[in-house]
Homo-oligomer: A and B are copies of this chain.
Amino acid sequence: MGTSRASARSVVFAPLDPHSRAETVVRRLTDAITFGLLTDAEQLPSETDLAAQFGVSRVTVREALVALRQQNLVETRRGRGGGSFVRAPAAAADRSLRSRLSELSLPNLRDTADHYAAVAGAAARLAAQRADADDILRIEEVDADVAGPPHRMERAYHLEVAAVAQSARLAREEIRFATELGTLLWSPILQSVDGAYDPHAEHRAITAAIAAGDGDLARGLTEKHIETAVERLVTLHLTLVEP
């Protein structure tokens, strides 16, 4: 009894976000660059457009861009055709990933993964209930495109499943996890640890379950897919933490 009361209060009275708005914009853009959502040499929208999209003042955007320039994550050019351009060195992303991984606590990593599996599994189940033939084709097309880095492929696949599930919330959650954890879970570093791992074969099995309308199987396969990736990540984490 006391538990639920105390815990509900923990939400009501939880601290507000301590970060300034400029700082929040910095974190947004830094994460997007570090995790590959914004690629090297890519041009950001203009200051005016960024301000409109983020719902902040242009001064705030400019403040954030100063910080990003100091981190050498963007460079800015004036004049027509100017603007801010991403500078994302590949080696920095790799170092950032290992650094990030070694900062994560194992219980925290497992808890995040449990949550992710719940969301992605539910999306797969709903997709099995709601997909039509066009949806299945689309999922297959997305999965057939193997031209990019693994975490991009994984993100595209799971996001397509969430879209087919017709749940805006689950799709949004999927994107959040892809941003927060996806780059770790599906990192190329992990691919070299165990060569026998074939995510595409697992995707095909999930897609077949969705096509067959078997929601429980689709969910179970999705959960296992994520749990497998987590175990590999845990293995890497242990090598980093106990040298």
Measured CB to CB, the residues of A under 8 A from B are: 1, 3-4, 7-18, 21, 24-25, 28-29, 31-32, 37-38, 45, 50, 53-56, 111-112, 114-115, 117-119, 121-122, 126, 142, 145, 152, 155-156, 159-160, 163, 167-173, 175-176, 178-179, 216
Contacts and interface: CB of A to CB of B under 8 A. Distances in A.
A167 B114 CA distance: 8
B54 A32 contact: no
Contact of A11 (B121, B142, B176): B176
Which of A12, A28, A142 has the most chain B CB atoms closer than 10 A to its own CB?
Answer: A12
Given A7-B175, A117-B122, A156-B4, A55 B169 contact: no
Contacts of A160: 3-4
Contacts of A155: 4, 8
A199 to B, nearest CB: 15
B169 A111 contact: yes
State the copy count for this chain.
Answer: 2
B122 A175 contact: no
Which of A31, A50, A53, A115 has the most chain B CB atoms closer than 10 A to its own CB?
Answer: A115
A55 B54 CA distance: 23
Contact of A171 (B7, B112, B118, B172): B7
B15 A115 contact: no
A28 B173 CA distance: 22
A28 B12 CA distance: 6
A24 B16 CA distance: 8
A156 B6 CA distance: 11
B25 A16 contact: yes
Given A3-B160, A13-B53, A122 B126 contact: no
